Structure 1
Amino acid sequence: MEILDKYEINRRLEDLEGWEYKDDAIHTSFQFENFKEAFSVMVRIAFEAEAQQHHPDWSNVYNELQISLSTHDAGGVTEKDFKLARAIENIVDSGE
């Protein structure tokens, strides 16, 4: 899979609200009403990530979920990361 350059990454990020590029990955965070809602969304994202065979680096503290996406085998951000980011956005948008 081909690594995207900074220009292409930043161009694609224009379509993803709240995402940013730094440290060779794209990052975002979400806040939910409580832990149960945050964890519920994480489960839905986990099923999608498994279906895509592309898994996020993430952390959760109470109602906040932080996500970083990078294609580790390629050594940077690829189309796989944007595909999963769009799926994550759809999951979060459908749950709020």
Structure 2
Amino acid sequence: MRTVSRRLLSTTARLLTEEQRRQLPSAWKAVDGRDAIQRQFVFQDFNTAFGFMTRPVQTGRRGRPFVLTLRLGVALLAETMNHHPEWFNVYNRVDITLTTHDCKGLSTNDLAMANAIDKFAEAHV
């Protein structure tokens, strides 16, 4: 089971430096008028989209069917990281916006969360 670094649970969020902003995943786009990033995920149907937000995914390793890794749903991952995204879900689409309200902009927590969500999305589909 993957664990989340306690570093991510820090209550002191720091704004991203210019170098860190260049490290933001390319699929995440800047939000007009806000220091925030957003990404849209499209799934086969509502159940799959809702599952992406809420349900854990089990993945097995090839050739070893009884070895399973449990990955948190994005909502539980966010709770574990103490960093909660803004959500919008219509049928098979999930839009996620990340920003850190404590420091009024993009922080290292947003970078970590975007990377974690991307990894989860790869395993989910």
Shared fold, TM over 0.5 = yes
TM-score under structure 1 normalisation?
Answer: 0.90
| Dislocated runs of 4+, deviation >6 Å | none
Describe the shift of the 1:4–1:10 C-alpha distance in structure 2 as closer, same or farther (beyond 3 A).
closer
In the TM superposition, 1:1-96 aligns within 5 A as 1-5=13-17, 7-8=18-19, 10-13=21-24, 16-22=25-31, 23-43=34-54, 44-96=73-125
- The percent identity for this pair of structures is 38
TM-score under structure 2 normalisation?
Answer: 0.70
Flag the structure with larger Rg. Answer: 2
- Greater fraction helix: 1
1:56-77 Cα deviation digits (max 9, x unpaired): 0010000000000001011000
Gaps of 5+ in 1: none
Q: Is the 8 A contact 1:9 1:21 kept in 2?
A: no
RMSD (Å), alpha carbons: 1.2
> 1:93 is paired with a residue of what secondary structure?
helix
Distance in 2 of aligned mates of 1:50 and 1:37: 20
> 1:28 is paired with a residue of what secondary structure?
strand
- Tell me the amino acid that sits aligned with residue 31 of structure 1: V
